[in-house]
């Protein structure tokens, strides 16, 4: 078993519901193994500024159900430099921190891997991002909550859209990945789903929408990932408004935005975050470093950080076919 006297833990990048549940699991697992815990506020920025706080069991009481992250999060340009990482590593050593648990996405893991390579500080990552786009895990912390938030909003939009026979373009998060759009589109009964992983032609979009609106003579929901090449919901809306064929169609856009990042985590995210947090500490104690702990087929799995940010996680293209059948 690896000898760890003091463990540092931090959240970095975009926040995700369930990060607090993961923090709670990390702290309590470490304490149960007689390891001191130091929380690093504001991610890598706080690491460079030595913004540290001692944590114990009571520090993480009553946070399991809370969204956001009690340690805050920030993006750090300074940490991208060798000097910034040197300062961060020195601060960690001066405070007696032997190892780290990093909770975040691919950017977080790139930084963690550099810290491990350049300064020999052992790091294990926990995947925390609503995008669910990390290789090495079936699901990331925050994804299930964001997905359910999006579906709940689509259900509400459907009610008002149906009352007026309107076309709604609903934009969800996913700059580079369409996991949220694809699954909330299916779960919300969207007639068309547009995601970054597929090539989208505006003529095809127009033809499909006109066909649906003509055949149904009722509301139509189009779910668009923010990273879609046509410019998201606003870009598509403008293109449709400029086309006389859509002059008689009532058209609205709804940008769900950061509502998907907030709110209490679902039961699924709480359990996942707890399992990963415990697994991260136990992996460090077993001598593992420069890896992410994920969940694959219901079992914990370790994946080298380089593979996590170096490979692209693929969507299930069979799900795309469902929209054509079900719409």
Q: Are strands 299-304 and 291-296 parallel, antiparallel or unpaired?
A: antiparallel
Contact predicate 17/46, CB 8 Å: no
For residue 170, list its beta bridge partners.
223, 254
Task: Give the list of residues 6+ apart from residue 187 with CB closer than 8 angstroms, or none.
Answer: 147, 151
Task: Give the list of residues 6+ apart from residue 175 with CB closer than 8 angstroms, or none.
Answer: 131, 196, 225, 226, 227
User: Whose CA is closest to 51, among 70, 71, 77?
Assistant: 71
- Among 131, 133, 228, 290, the active-site one is 131
Task: Give the list of residues 6+ apart from residue 16 with CB closer than 8 angstroms, or none.
Answer: 128, 129, 130, 140, 141, 142, 143, 145, 146, 261
Whether 242 sits among the annotated catalytic residues: the reply is no
Contact predicate 37/284, CB 8 Å: no
Contact predicate 177/226, CB 8 Å: no
Q: How far is CA 44 from CA 55, 137, 146, 294, 303, in A?
A: 18, 24, 25, 22, 22
Stated as kind and residue range, the H or E segment containing 39 is strand 36-40
Please report which residue ranges of 165-311 form alpha helices under DSSP H. 179-187, 202-216, 232-241, 267-285, 305-310
The catalytic residues are 131
């Amino acid at each position: 078993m690896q000898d760890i006297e003091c463990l540092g833990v931090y959240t970095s990048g975009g926040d995700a519901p369930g990060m607090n549940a993961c923090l709670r699991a990390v702290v309590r697992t470490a304490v149960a193994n007689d390891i001191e815990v130091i929380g690093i506020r504001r991610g890598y920025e706080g690491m460079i500024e030595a913004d540290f706080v001692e944590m114990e069991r009571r520090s993480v009481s009553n946070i399991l159900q809370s969204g956001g992250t009690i340690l805050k999060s920030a993006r750090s340009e300074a940490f991208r430099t060798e000097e910034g990482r040197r300062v961060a590593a020195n601060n960690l050593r001066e405070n007696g921190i032997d190892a780290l648990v990093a909770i975040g996405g691919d950017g977080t893991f790139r930084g963690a891997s550099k810290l491990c390579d350049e300064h020999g500080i052992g790091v294990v990552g926990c995947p925390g991002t609503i995008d669910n786009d990390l290789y090495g895990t079936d699901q990331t912390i925050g994804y299930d909550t964001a997905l359910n938030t999006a579906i709940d909003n689509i259900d509400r939009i459907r009610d008002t859209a149906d009352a007026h026979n309107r076309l709604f373009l609903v934009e969800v998060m996913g700059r580079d990945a369409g996991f949220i759009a694809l699954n909330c589109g299916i779960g919300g009964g969207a007639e068309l789903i547009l995601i970054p992983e597929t090539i989208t032609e505006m003529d095809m979009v127009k033809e499909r929408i006109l066909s649906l609106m003509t055949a149904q003579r009722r509301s139509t929901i189009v779910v668009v990932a923010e990273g879609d090449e046509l410019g998201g919901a606003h870009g598509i809306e403008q293109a449709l408004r400029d086309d006389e064929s859509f002059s008689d169609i009532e058209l609205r856009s709804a940008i769900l935005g950061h509502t998907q990042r907030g709110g209490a985590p679902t039961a699924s995210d709480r359990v996942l975050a707890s399992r990963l947090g415990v697994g991260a500490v136990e992996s460090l104690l077993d001598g593992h470093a420069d890896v992410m702990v994920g969940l694959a087929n219901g079992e914990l799995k370790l994946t080298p950080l380089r593979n996590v940010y170096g490979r692209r996680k693929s969507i299930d293209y069979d799900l795309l076919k469902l929209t054509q059948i079900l719409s």
